[in-house]
Structure 1
Amino acid sequence: MPRQLHARHDSFALSRPFRIARGVKTAAEVVTVTLAQGGLVGRGEAVPYARYGESIESALAQIEAVRAAIEAGADRAALAALLPAGAARNALDCALWDLEAKVDGIGVSARLGEPAPTPIATALTIVIDTPEAMAAAARDVADAPLLKIKVDANAPADAIRAVRGAAPEAALIVDPNESWDEAMVRAMAGVLEECGVALLEQPVPAEADAWLAGYASPVPICADEAVHVAADLDVVAARYDAVNVKLDKAGGLTEGLALAHAARERGLGLMTGCMVCSSLGIAPALHVARLSDWVDLDGPYWLREDRQGGVRFEGGYVLPQQEGFWG
C-alpha cells in the first residue's frame, strides 16, 4: 500500500533559557515527520544539531532525498542503508516504528517483548548561571532523585558546590559539554568526589579524549559526543565507563537499542539522553531508558507548551505519553 511522507520544521518556545557551555537556546527547533498509509499515520521527531554539522535545512533535504524509497515501502533496515546516523534518520526511523505499530496492531512495547513504559526517574537540568541562581534552581527541585548540572570552564567548582548545597540528597550528573581540558578534569577530581557526583559526562572534546584511556577517575565518565552508534564502542569502551544513547545521534530507536545492548555486553554503564525537544522525541527514547542506569529525558520539561497527549513530569519522574500518542 502506498505511503505519503510529510516533513516540516516545528518550533517550540522554551519557558526559560536553556544555557550550556555551547550556547543558549530559547526554542526547540525540530523536524517532524509523518508517514500516512491506509488512513493510519506514524510520527517521528528529530533535533538537528550544529555540533554534528546538521541544520533544519540539511535534515529536511536528507529526508527529501529518500522520499521515493520511503513512500515505496522502505522499512527500517532499508532506511539504515539509505541515510547515515543522525537527526534525519531518527525522525524517519521513529515514524516507521509508530506506523508499524498502527498497521500491525502491535505496540512497540509488545514488539520488543516488554511491558508498557512506566514512570521513570529522569534528570532535571540545572543550566549555567551564577552559583546563586543555580542553587535557587536546584532548591526548587531538590526532592527530585537526579539532577544534571551544566557547567563550563568558568568556576565549575562553585556551581557544583552550590547545587550540592541546595540539593543534598539528589544524585548529581555534571556535564561540561566538552568545555574542559585534561588539566581541568584532573583539577576537578577532588571537587567531584567531595560533592558525591555520580557521573561526569563528556568533559573534554571528543576529538581530544584519547588520554582518558589511561586516566583513573574517581567518578565514572560517560561518553556523549564521542559515541553515536554501536560501531563507536571499539574506541569508546577503552576511554569511558558509560555511554549516553541519544536517538538523534544514533539515527533512531533501531540503532539506539543496538547501541544500548552492545554497550551492556561490554560492561559499560548506560544513560539515555535527549536534545531539547517535544514529547514526540521522548516517547521512543523511553524504550531505551528502561535499560539504563541514568535517564536524562527532560527536554519537554523546558517547553512553554508541549504536543498534546505527551509525557508529563512529576517529582523528578517522567510519566509516559497518553495512549495513541506514539508507538
Structure 2
Amino acid sequence: MTQLKLAARRETLRLAAPFRISGHVFENCDVIVATLSDGEHEGRGEGGGVYYLGDDADHMLADIEKARSAIEAGIDREGLLQTMPAGGGRNAIDCALWELEARRQATPTWQVAGINQPQPVVTTFTLGADTPEAMAAGATRYAEAQAIKVKLTGELNLDISRVAAIRAARDDVWIGVDANQGFAVGELDRLVRALVDCNVSLLEQPLARGCENDLIGFDCPIPLAADESALTSADVASLVGKFSVFNIKLDKCGGLTEALITAKRCREAGLEVMVGNMVGTSLAMAPAYILAQLCDYVDLDGPTFLAKDRDPSISYAKGKVRCDQNVWGYAG
C-alpha cells in the first residue's frame, strides 16, 4: 500500500441568515476538511457531522486522529469502513479517498462508482421555519424551484398554517415537509389530513428517533421518510413497514462508500431512496450528487444557505442542481 499524508482542519461556515428547524436555530456550522496526498495526487473531503448525535467538529477530529496511523499507512475505502465509525469524520476521509482514487486512475468519480454520467437533477429548496407569511414570501422568492421542502417545528396549528400559506403562494410546486422529530403520534392524523389538503407529497421524520414502532400500522397516504431514524445500511431492515423512504446523508452514514451500499439495500428492501445534506459547501455536495443519480428524492441545497461557498461550486438553475467534475473528483 502507498503511504499517504493526512491533513485535517476545522472550518467555520457562516450562514447568510439564521435557519430554524424543530428545536434548533443555526447561525453557523463547523465542518472538517480532510486532504490525503500520496506525493503525486491529492484527494479532498468535507464532513459536517450530525448535531443530534453529538458529532461536532471536535468529535470528528478525534475520530480522524484515532485512525490516523491506519489511514496514512494507505487504507482503502473498504478498510476505512472497518476502521472508523460512521459520522462526519469518516465521511471526510472516505470522500478524500474517492477523489484520490479518481485522480490516480485519471477517471471521473462517477465512473469509478460504476454509474452513468451524472445529469442535473431536481432538488428541493428548503424554507426554514418562520411565520406563515414569511414562509409564503420565501416560497415566492424561490421562483425557479420545482420542489420546496418546508421545515416544521411541531407546533401543530402553526405548522398547518405555514403549509397552507406556502401552498396558496405556490400552487405549481412539489412540496415536502420535514418535522425533524417534532410531533407526537397522537397528532399525526390531524397533521396528515392537513398535508393531504395542501397536496403535500412527502412527510419526513414526524416522530422522535426511537419511536419508530409507533408507526407500525399507521396508514399514511403520504410517503413517510426516515431521517434521524435512518443512519446507515444497518438500519434499513428495521425501517421496513414503518417508513417508505430512507433519507441517506453522507455525514450520517460516513461517506459515499457506505451511502452506495445503503441505497442498494434500500432498493432490495423495497424502500425509496432520498439523498439529503447537513449544511455544507459544494465540496460536501459533490459526492452526494453522485448518489443523487440513484435517488427518488434529492435535497442538495446546503450551499444556498451560506454567506460564501467554495470556488468552483455546484450550480442551480431551473430548480435543478448540477455538479461538474472540477468541483470534486477528476476533471480531466
- Residue aligning to 1:119: 120
Alpha-carbon separation, structure 2, partners of 1:164 and 1:324: 35
What are the Cα deviations for residues 87-111 of structure 1, in whole angstroms up to 9, with x where unaligned?
1111111110010111121221112
Letter in 2 for 1:39: E
Alpha-carbon separation, structure 2, partners of 1:56 and 1:104: 31
Deviation at 1:266, TM superposition (A): 1.4
2:251 corresponds to 1:251 = no
2:304 corresponds to 1:304 = no
Map 1:117-156 → 2, pairs under 5 A: 117-154=118-155, 155-156=158-159
Alpha-carbon separation, structure 1, partners of 2:316 and 2:105: 30
2:73 corresponds to 1:33 = no
2:252 corresponds to 1:232 = no
Give the secondary-structure state (helix, strand or coil) at the position aligned to 2:216.
Answer: helix
Letter in 1 for 2:109: V
Map 1:79-90 → 2, pairs under 5 A: 79-90=80-91
Deviation at 1:152, TM superposition (A): 1.0
Alpha-carbon separation, structure 1, partners of 2:62 and 2:85: 13
Structure 2 residue ranges without an equivalent (≥5): none
Deviation at 1:324, TM superposition (A): 5.6
Alpha-carbon separation, structure 2, partners of 1:66 and 1:322: 29
Please provide the CA RMSD for this pair: 1.2
Q: For the Cα contact (< 8 Å) 2:108–2:329, is it kept in 1? A: no
Q: For the Cα contact (< 8 Å) 1:311–1:322, is it kept in 2? A: no
- Residue aligning to 2:264: 261
Q: For the Cα contact (< 8 Å) 1:143–1:170, is it kept in 2? A: no
Figure out how many residues of one structure are paired with residues of the other and give that number.
327
Deviation at 1:72, TM superposition (A): 0.6
Corresponding residue to 1:184 among 170, 176, 187: 187
TM-score, normalised to structure 1's length?
A: 0.97
Alpha-carbon separation, structure 1, partners of 2:318 and 2:124: 11
Q: Percent identity?
A: 39
Letter in 1 for 2:101: E
2:112 corresponds to 1:108 = no
Q: Which range moved further: 308-317 or 269-278?
A: 308-317
Give the secondary-structure state (helix, strand or coil) at the position aligned to 2:321.
Answer: strand
Q: For the Cα contact (< 8 Å) 2:313–2:327, is it kept in 1? A: no
Letter in 2 for 1:176: A
Change in Cα spacing, 1:143 to 1:50, as seen in structure 2 (3 Å) is closer
- Residue aligning to 1:76: 77
Deviation at 1:322, TM superposition (A): 4.9
TM-score, normalised to structure 2's length?
A: 0.96
Structure 1 residue ranges without an equivalent (≥5): none
Letter in 2 for 1:121: V
2:43 corresponds to 1:42 = yes
- Residue aligning to 1:216: 219
Alpha-carbon separation, structure 2, partners of 1:97 and 1:50: 25
Give the secondary-structure state (helix, strand or coil) at the position aligned to 2:238.
Answer: helix
- Residue aligning to 1:168: 171
- Residue aligning to 1:58: 59
